[in-house]
Amino acid sequence: MILVILWLIQDLLTVFTGGGMQIPGLFMLGLVYGLLFDDGNDDRSLWSIWTAFAGGILWDLRWIGIPGFFTLGYVVVVLIVIQVWRIIPPQGRESGTGLLVFVLLECSQLIPPMLPVLILGGRTGWNYFLMQQAYSLPAILLTMYLYRRKVRNSKI
């Protein structure tokens, strides 16, 4: 339910800005945040892949018009997070993973918007991409804070 709300908030913010400002991928941040608490359950991983696919296809149909660009990026991000997070032992996930969490969250903001840049090419695509990265940094830092707080509270 939270992911649906995040997708709708992301969509409404894009509508309110008229598509002229790149909005952070709140949906992907929420999905990656949920994967950071994955216990290696294959059902949850499969659910996450299908959720990323559904969210990406809706975003493509709503804003891009060509299904597949953001869908591919969303699914690739989920697969990267699942694989990288499973490599780390559970003890290592709780301590000293600030940089790794930042990189995984940044992947969620870096990979999907990169595909339209490759398609648009040129100066226009890079300007939108760089603006989106600048706007997504506060959202990434807030998500990191929420992750660290939840990990700290679960240890107590």
Please report whether residue 59 resides in a domain.
yes
Instruction: Please tell me the distance from the alpha carbon of residue 56 to that of residue 74, in angstroms, as a whole number.
Output: 6
Output the pTM of the full model.
0.88
Please report whether residue 8 resides in a domain.
no
* pLDDT of the chain, 156 residues: tens digit per residue: 899 999 999 989 888 887 666 788 899 999 999 998 877 778 888 999 999 999 999 988 888 777 888 898 999 999 999 999 988 887 777 665 788 899 999 999 998 888 767 766 666 667 777 888 888 999 999 999 999 898 888 765
Please report whether residue 2 resides in a domain.
no
Domain count, the chain: 1
The answer to whether 61 and 38 are in contact (CB under 8 A) is no
Q: Domain of 34?
A: 25-155
Please report whether residue 18 resides in a domain.
no
Helix (H, G, I), strand (E, B) or coil at 95: coil
Could you write out the DSSP letters of every residue in 9-49? Answer: HHHHHHHHTTTSSPPP-HHHHHHHHHHTT--S-HHHHHHHH
Please report whether residue 7 resides in a domain.
no
DSSP state of 96: S
Question: Closest Cα partner for 101 from 55, 156, 35?
Answer: 35
Please report whether residue 6 resides in a domain.
no
Rg (CA), the chain: 15
